[in-house]
Amino acid sequence: MERVDEEFEALFSRYEEPICSYLARMTGDLPRAQELAQETFLRAYRAMARGETWENPRAWLYRVASRLAANDHRRRKLLQWVPLGDRDPAPGPSPAEATAARLDFQAALNRLPPRYRAPLLLAAVADYRVAEIADILGLGSSAVKMRLSRAREMLRRAYDEGR
């Protein structure tokens, strides 16, 4: 059991922050994201204790986190999202204009169904490739490409309509 504890500690140390950040963007609620991250790692620990191993533990963790977020969304039926990045707005627009643009973008992102938001966030924020997103979400690569394409178009339309 000591080996499992050491392996789990290494897994947790490496992925806790990115998983929590991803879930915070998925839920728009940091305390809820922390709860979901805790559940993700609890499931990982239990699986490791049963002797499970993964070829790609990062993908396994994101898959579990994505499913937990989707289940949470189904329960709540209202999901708030945060902007795609924590970057400061580019110099030029006034703070009021930058805030308005960010709110417009967030509102447009909120209009996307979760099945399109998740791959978009994984690609744009976590910088995953299509194959990795497919592995995380349990989809084929062509389905991920289609969802990304549709998500980008839906986001463009929603943003243009909201301005």
List pLDDT tens digits, range 126-148.
788 999 999 888 999 999 999 99
Distance in angstroms (rounded) separating the CA atoms of residues 35 and 102? 27
Listed residue (136, 131, 104, 138) closest to 23, CA to CA: 136
Residues ≥6 apart with Cβ < 8 Å to 63? 135, 136, 137, 138
Give me the pLDDT at residue 119, please. 93
70, 117 Cβ separation under 8 angstroms: no
- Tens-digit pLDDT profile for residues 90-114: 556 677 777 787 778 878 877 888 8
**pLDDT value for 64:** 94
Q: Can you tell me the distance from the alpha carbon of 11 to that of 6, in angstroms, rounded to the nearest whole number? A: 9
Give the per-residue pLDDT at 88. Answer: 52
pLDDT digits (tens, 9 = 90+) for 31-57: 999 999 999 999 999 999 999 999 999
More confident residue, 67 or 82: 67
Identify the burial level of 9 via C-beta atoms within 10 angstroms of its C-beta, where 0-12 means exposed, 13-18 middle and 19 or more buried. Answer: exposed
Query: Average of pLDDT values for 67-84?
Result: 67
Tell whether the model's pLDDT for residue 13 goes beyond 90.
yes
Mean pLDDT of the residues in the chain: 85
What pLDDT shows up at residue 153?
A: 94
DSSP letters of 54-80? -S-HHHHHHHHHHHHHHHHHHHHS---
User: Residue 130: what residue type?
Assistant: V
pLDDT range class, residue 77, cuts 50, 70, 90: low
